[in-house]
């Protein structure tokens, strides 16, 4: 079970920051501002951020940005990054051609 989170708790207003247009998810080109907005829209878990913004959903599957996003959620919510669950790791951990994958069971 996940940790108790009352999604109505006050995390303050979304204040624009000078580096909001900096890219965080390199694959899907999702900016810091977009992720911060998602957090203020109520997306408080890594998975919700991923599904809501596509950050971490690109070709590399969040291998670079996950750690950064975790830190961002923690900062906006005022909690420790330790308390934030990671995204589910998914098969395949590297991109694989459909043809190549299919040969596994012929």
Contact 47, 6 (CB under 8 A): no
Is residue 47 a contact residue for another protein (CB under 8 A)? yes
The interaxial angle of helices 46-53 and 32-40, nearest 10 deg, is 120
Contact 30, 55 (CB under 8 A): yes
Q: How far is the CB of 15 from another protein (least distance, A)?
A: 16
Q: How far is the CB of 48 from another protein (least distance, A)?
A: 6
Q: Which of positions 56-95 make contact with another protein (CB under 8 A)?
A: 58-61, 63-64, 67-68, 81-82, 86, 88-95
Select from 4, 13, 16, 78 the one that contacts another protein (CB under 8 A). 4
Q: How close are the terminal C-alpha atoms of the chain, in Å?
A: 39
CA 77 vs CA 26, 36, 88, 93: distances in Å? 23, 10, 21, 30
Contact 48, 40 (CB under 8 A): no
Is residue 17 a contact residue for another protein (CB under 8 A)? no
Select from 14, 20, 48, 76 the one that contacts another protein (CB under 8 A). 48
**Interface contacts to another protein, rule CB under 8 A:** 1-8, 19, 22-24, 26-29, 32, 41-45, 47-48, 51-52, 54, 58-61, 63-64, 67-68, 81-82, 86, 88-106
């Amino acid at each position: 079970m996940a940790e108790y989170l009352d999604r109505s708790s006050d995390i303050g207003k979304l204040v624009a920051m000078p580096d909001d247009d900096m890219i965080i998810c390199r694959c899907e080109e999702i900016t810091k501002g977009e992720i911060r907005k998602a957090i203020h829209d109520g997306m408080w878990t890594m998975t919700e951020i991923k599904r809501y913004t596509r950050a971490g959903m690109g070709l590399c599957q969040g291998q670079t940005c996950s750690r950064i996003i975790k830190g961002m959620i923690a900062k906006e919510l005022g909690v420790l990054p330790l308390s934030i669950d990671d995204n589910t790791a998914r098969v395949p951990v590297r991109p694989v051609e459909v043809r190549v994958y299919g040969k596994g069971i012929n």
